[in-house]
Structure formats: structure tokens, C-alpha cells
Amino acid sequence: MTTQNATVEVAGNGRLWNRFSIGTKRVIWAWTFLALPIAFYVGIRFYPTFQAFWLSLTNWDLLRPAQFIGLANYERMFADPVFWKVFQNTFLYLLMGTPISLLISFVVAYYLDRVRFMHGFIRALYFLPFLTTAAAMGWVWRWFYQPIPVGVFNGILSMMGFAQQPFLRSTTQSLPAIMVPAIWAGLGFQIIIFMAGLRAIPSTFYEAARIDGLGDWAILRKITLPLLKPTTVFLVVFSSIGFLRIFDQVYNMTTNDPGGPLNATKPLVMMIYQTAFSSYQMGYAAAQTVVLFTILLIVSLIQLYVLRQR
């Protein structure tokens, strides 16, 4: 009887499966294969995110159990003038770094795409900084900014008869000084992506435009830039997230005075790091993390909406 029941159940399941359309069967198979990666991603990504939201409402220093304190961490953070200075620095990195890096990388990619002699070697030179360790890069650029006789830049200025510049020791020059290597480090990746986008544009469009008598500037404005829109959207969002999360350059170039003089270069990620691993205020650091997550989400959604509308 047990064997007969099992046979009947299998046959019933088989008839039920045969009732599904081909499209429904494909959806079932797709979700079957995606179930394990989705479960893994939820456990690795979503659960820690929700846990951070919970910790932001607590007072936790790793030594005692977390105590629920409501919105006290957020009230403290929004009343802290250092937070607003750091908030300003973070957006300065975004507003300065993203457009400058994209403009430079597009110009380089546009003209490099036309180069045939030693094309691969030149492209590798531009991509090399992206592969360089951020710590090593930060310390080399820190050496460049030192006073004479050590610093390269001040040595050049002195040879040309100009006064030395404080660079990383200045409240006004330190942030742009850190922005330069941050932009330089990401140029290689952006150039490669722009070149891939340029190579994906069919050459027939350019041939037809030249037959119609369009010049280089008109072709760039009416053909190249519009067809590069998906590539540009990706790089804008990717670059914006990178500058909002900038940390390596700041940490390695301002080791003696983390965050620069008077917090002139400190981004939100460094503030989170110092709050969590120097002061051990995990609840307060989690509240700062929630703010950073909210900023990243809002900026990315706005950029995607604006660029797609255009």
C-alpha cells in the first residue's frame, strides 16, 4: 500500500508539473537555481544592514550588552559641529571628484581610442595606478607634499622661485591635495570603461555622419555622447559611491594628524572608523553608518533618475 501511494503521489506531481506552461516552468527553474545565492546574499548583506539599523538605536561599547536608547545617537550626531564639518567634506569629495575625474577620463579615452602606436602600452600606464595598493600610493603622495628638501612639489616650486606651500598642513589646501591622488588612482578604470563604450558604438554611425558633412565636434555632441549614456550613467554612480566612501588616501596621507588640521580632510567613513575602533562607541558609529548608507542611496537614486530622464 505504501508503494502504491508513493506511485500515485509521483504521478500526481507529474501531472501537476505538466499543467504548467513553458514560461512558468522556466520561472520555477530560475528561482530554484537562484534560491541559494539569494539566501547567501541575504545572510551576508541584508542581515548586517538591518543589524546596523538596530545598533544605531543602542548604546554599545563591546564590553557590555547593547542598551536601547532610541534616537539619542542621532540627536547627539546632528548636534555635533564636527559631524557637519565631516558631512561637508564628504560632499566636497563628491562634488569635486566625480565631475573632474569623469571629464579627464573621457578626454583621455576619446583621444587614446584614436592612437594606434603603442596603444596597449599607454593604456596599461593609465590603468597601473588603479592596480597600485592604496596605502603605498598614499605614502608616496604624502612624500611629494613634504617641505623641502624632501618634498618633490615644494622642491620644484623653490627651483622656480615660488614660496613653499603647506599642502597637507593647511586647512584650505589639504582637501584638494588629497583629491588629486584620489582622482588619479581611479582614472585607469574609468578610461578603460569609456574606451569599451566607445568601441561598442557602430562605425556605420560615424561613416554616415561624415557623409552628411558633420565635423568632429558635431559627431561628438550628436552621436558619441548620446550613445555613451549607459556607460556614463554607470561611471557617474560608481565614481560617486567611491568618493562618498573615500578613506584610504585620507588615512594614509594624514597619519600624523588623522583627518587633517581641524578635520579639514576627514570624510564620514573615517569618522565612523575612529568612533568605532578608537572610541569603541559602536552604537554611535552605527548611527553614522546609517547616515552614510542613506546618503549613498539618495545620491545614487537621484543620479540614476536625472541621467535617465536626460
**Phi and psi at residue 67, to the nearest 5°:** -110, 130
**Dist CA 190 CA 196 (whole Å):** 10
Question: What single DSSP character describes residue 164?
Answer: P
Percent of the chain with pLDDT over 70: 94
Q: What pLDDT shows up at residue 3?
A: 52
Could you tell me which of 193, 223, 183, 200 has the C-alpha nearest to residue 101?
Answer: 183
d(CA 156, CA 24): 70
CA distances from 182 to 35, 53, 93, 155, 190 (A): 39, 30, 9, 22, 13
Contacting residues for 113 by C-beta, under 8 A, at least 6 apart: 195, 198, 199
pLDDT band at 13 (very low <50, low <70, confident <90, very high): low
Given a cut of 50, is residue 73 above it in pLDDT? yes
pLDDT in tens, 134-157: 889 999 999 999 998 889 999 999
Strands 67-68 and 58-59: antiparallel
How many CA atoms within 13 Å lie on the side-chain side of 123? Answer: 20
Predicted confidence at residue 257, as pLDDT, reads 83
C-alpha angle 114-221-104 in degrees, rounded to nearest 5: 55
Enumerate the β-bridge partners of residue 68.
Answer: 58
Q: Which of 117, 94, 112 lies closest to 191 in space, CA to CA?
A: 112
Q: What is the pLDDT of residue 48?
A: 83
Give per-residue pLDDT as tens, 203-245.
899 888 888 888 889 999 999 999 999 899 899 999 999 999 9
Strand partners, 58: 68
Say what the pTM is: 0.84
Q: Is the pLDDT of residue 26 over 80?
A: yes
Q: In 10 A of CB 188, how many CB atoms?
A: 21
CATH class of the domain defined by 75-309? mainly alpha
> So where are the chain's domains?
2-55, 75-309
pLDDT of residue 27 exceeding 50: yes
Answer whether residue 10 shows pLDDT above 50: no
- Give the mean pLDDT of the chain: 88
Residues in Cβ contact with 223 at an 8 Å cutoff, skipping those fewer than 6 apart:
201, 205, 206, 209
For residue 309, pLDDT beyond 70: no
Residues 235, 102: contact at Cβ < 8 Å? yes
| CA distance linking residue 94 with residue 182, whole number of Å | 11
